[in-house]
Structures are given as C-alpha cells and as structure tokens.
Amino acid sequence: MILSDVSGGQVFILFLVFLAVIVAASCIRIVPQAHAYVIERLGTYQATWSVGFHMKWPIIDKVAERISLKEQVVDFAPQPVITKDNVTMRIDTVVFFQITDPKLFAYGVEKPIMAIENLTATTLRNIIGDLELDQTLTSRETINTKMRATLDVATDPWGIKVNRVELKNIIPPAAIQDAMEKQMKAERERREQILIAEGEKKSAILRAEGQKESLILSAEAEKQSAILRAEATKEATIRRAEGEAEAILTVQKANADGIKFLNEAAPATAVLTLKSLEAFAKAADGKATKLIIPSEIASIAGLASSLTEIAVDNKEPKA
C-alpha cells in the first residue's frame, strides 16, 4: 500500500511539472523580423511586442494581433466610374501600403483592407468625375498622385502609410474603344502622309541644292579657266614685249657700237661720203624713180668714180 501511494504521488508531481513546462512554453513568444505582436491583458491593450524574445502571463495575457510591418500590395477589382462627359468605364487599382502603428491598425478600423478598398473606390470616383475621357486616359500620373495623397491622409488614423497608388487598367466601353481605334488608325494614316510629304520635300530640296552646287562649281570652273587664259595671254604678251624690247635694245646697242667704232677709227671725209651714198642706195632700194643727192656728196661721188676708174686701169695688163 505504501509503495502504491508513493508511486501515485510521484506521478502526480511529474504531471504537475509537465503541466508547468507546457504553461511556461506557452508564455514564451519570439517575434520574427519585420513583425509586431499586439498583447492584451484581460481584453485590454497591454503592449506591442517588437522583434525578439518575450514572455507573457498565462491565461490573463494573449496575443491579439500578429502584424506584418513589411510593405504590402493589394490589387483591387475593377471599379465602375463615370467621367465628366458621362462616359462609364472600369478602372482597377493597385495600392502599396505599410503598417506603421500596430496598435492603431489593430484598434483603428474593422477590416482595414476592406476599408482601404472602399476608400480607394470612392476617391477614384471623385477624381475621375472631374475629368473628361481624354484627360482620364492621359493623366494617370496626376490621378495616382491625388489618390495617394487622399488615401495617405485618410488611413493615417488607422496606422497605415500609403506609399503608392497605381491605375492598373483603364477599360472604356466597347463603342469608345472602337472609336478610339478608328481615331488611332486615322492618326497613323495622317502621320504617314505627313512623313511621305516631308520626305518628298526634303528630296526636292536636296535635288535643288545639288543642282545649285553643280551650277556653282561649273561657274567657278569657268571663272578659273578664264583667269588662267587671261594670265597665259598676259604672260605671252609680256614675253613678246620683253623679246621686242631686247631686240630693239640689241639693235640700238649694235648701232651704238658701230658709231663708237667709227668714232674710234676716225674715218676720212671720203669714207663717210661713200657710206652716205650706200645709205642713199639702200634707201632707194631700186624702187625710187628720183633721188636727190646733196652737191657735196655728188662731187665726192664723182671723185670716187674717177678713183675707181684709175684703179681699174692700173689693174689691167699692159700690151
């Protein structure tokens, strides 16, 4: 009986020890990186645990929320919106947000993601309602900026920071899409015609410039040719003039040398008279019918003729 009681007491102690270990283990919490735990004590907010090792009281403390502090992305379904010119289209948005205050996120609003979705839809309708269709299609960046600013202010009491809002798709009605496609086709055809016309214009301009350059080069070549011809003619004229000048100079020098020689030889009057007669003969050249000779030269010529006859007689042999 005693052994039986001892064994039962040991088992009970072991059970209590095991239960204590289980309770202690349940009170230990390790918060991972980029997470936060919201702790309640008896249903009241107690603390926010950050990254690391933590312990809570058993039974009276509990982890109310496990919150991720990483940036999150929510893709909302397309929402019907009406533009200022009464065109109904569907737009789906993507919201990038991050929880900055776990306590406000846990107690600020019921179902925060649904609240963000509804707030995004209403904000989008308000912004698109002030824009026409064409503005909506070309103002995505403006719409994104306005929505981000509005959502960031509205979600701040919820402990949420909206980092970016992007319009993922803008889906206009089928009739509008057909009209837009026709407009795009017409615009492409118009641009094609403009490009063709500009190409033809540039081609014509290039051809005209080529002809102009050709004419300029031809005129320049003719000008250079005329200049070269004029220079050649000028050079030839100069050389002829120089040749004639040299010939005249040579003749004059010869005459001067002859006169100098005569002066140095001191010829007699009869020799000068004979030279004068020779000069008259050359001047007549057999063509003159009359020749007037001065009396002094004539008398000397008669004397010269007599001397010539005497010389001839002296040369003849005697009988």
Q: What DSSP string runs through 191-221?
A: HHHHHHHHHHHHHHHHHHHHHHHHHHHHHHH
Could you tell me the pLDDT band of residue 161, with boundaries at 50, 70 and 90? very high
Q: From CA 45, how far away is CA 65, in angstroms rounded?
A: 11
Kindly state the average pLDDT of the residues 183-205.
Answer: 89
> What average pLDDT score do residues 150-162 get?
93
Question: DSSP letter at 293?
Answer: -
For residue 26, which of 69, 67, 50, 60 has the smallest C-alpha distance? Answer: 60
Residue 311 has pLDDT above 50, yes or no: no
In angstroms, rounded to a whole number, what is the distance separating the alpha carbons of residues 43 and 65? 12
Contact indicator for 94, 151 with CB cutoff of 8 Å: no
Q: What is the pLDDT of residue 249?
A: 84
**Considering the chain, what is the average pLDDT of its residues?**
82
pLDDT tens profile 234-261? 888 888 888 888 888 887 887 777 777 7
Residue 318 has pLDDT above 80, yes or no: no
- CATH topology for the 72-172 domain: Tetrahydropterin Synthase; Chain A (3.30.479)
Maximum Cα–Cα distance across the chain: 222
Average confidence (pLDDT) over 137-144: 89
Average pLDDT over residues 255-277: 66
161 with 97: CB under 8 angstroms? yes
The pLDDT score that the predictor gives to residue 255 is 75
CA 311 to centroid of chain Cα atoms: 113
Per-residue confidence band for 106, with pLDDT thresholds at 50, 70 and 90: very high
